[in-house]
Amino acid sequence: MNRSPVIIAVCGKGGVGKTCMSALLTRRLCKDRGKRVLAIDADPAVGLSLPLGITVHRTVDDIRRDLIARLSGGETQDREALVRSLDYDVFGALEERDNLAFLAIGRPEGDGCYCQVNAFLRDIIREIAANFDYVIIDAEAGVEQVSRRVMEMVTHLLLVTDASLKGRKVAELIYTEGVVKGAIGTSALLFNRVQGQGEAEALLSGVTLPVAGIVQENSLIRSFDREGWSFFDLPQSEALSALDDTLTNFLG
């Protein structure tokens, strides 16, 4: 199968609710049973698994570290054998349910980093993505990962922020990195946890970036997030339907 998937990176400052938005976007896309959806958790905390109701058994970083340990111990492999080994292991790390597959990256690249191993892993993840219609990447907090691993594959950049100035500033920085430098086709800001119409109007009056929509504070979503319950069990509501419409419009 050879596809050109829609790849959405969900980015923003830590604590603004980007993992919740990644889960809700995944939930929305999985409603179309004819489409295959891949959710990639690129945050070291592996927080996306809980709202998706998925148990993580192995991360990409586990695979990387295992292979580095083997190579450091004197094991030798030619390039073809190395790629086959990584390919098999990464596909084996996918957690699948219905039309959803989940892949956790784990800790960011760093200790014991083998550039060749990391480059192979990026290529393999790109190959995996080609088997899906949609790929959602819950990115690390901040801007560091934007230029390092994510943006080279992204078609849509969803910038999540709360009402805080810091959250908005981080979103602007990511927009500059992703759009101005990365030339991503579709990018927009999503305001999350907004308190009432007055705050929404104040935020919109001062924004310069494209806006996908505004998500009001929602006690039901907050309770599901607090308790670690699957967002797939959220009852449909007017607020969720409005958010689904917002996300659908963002994707075009």
pLDDT of 144: 53
Residue 252 in domain: no
Q: Does residue 132 contact residue 101 with C-beta atoms inside 8 Å?
A: yes
Domain of 122, in residue numbers: 6-246
Domain of 178, CATH number, reads: 3.40.50.300
Angle between helices 60-72 and 115-129 (to 10 degrees): 140
Residue 156 in domain: yes
| Count of beta carbons in the 10 Å neighbourhood of residue 206 | 8
Q: Does residue 47 contact residue 94 with C-beta atoms inside 8 Å?
A: no
Tally of domains in the chain:
1
Residue 205 in domain: yes
> Residues 86-100: what's their mean pLDDT?
89
Residue 160 in domain: yes
More confident residue, 74 or 250: 250
Phi-psi label, residue 197: left if phi above 0, alpha if psi -120 to 50, beta otherwise:
alpha
Residue 167 in domain: yes
pLDDT digits (tens, 9 = 90+) for 158-208: 999 999 999 999 998 888 876 666 657 789 999 999 999 999 999 999 898
DSSP annotation string for 38-101: EEEE-STT--TTTTTT------HHHHHHHHHHHHHTT----HHHHHHHHHHHHHHH-EEETTEE
> Residues 41-67: what's their mean pLDDT?
87
Instruction: Evaluate if residue 12 carries a pLDDT over 50.
Output: yes
pLDDT of 14: 87
Residue 206 in domain: yes
Distance CA(25)–CA(8), nearest Å, equals 10
| Count of beta carbons in the 10 Å neighbourhood of residue 103 | 25
Residue 44 in domain: yes
Residue 1 in domain: no
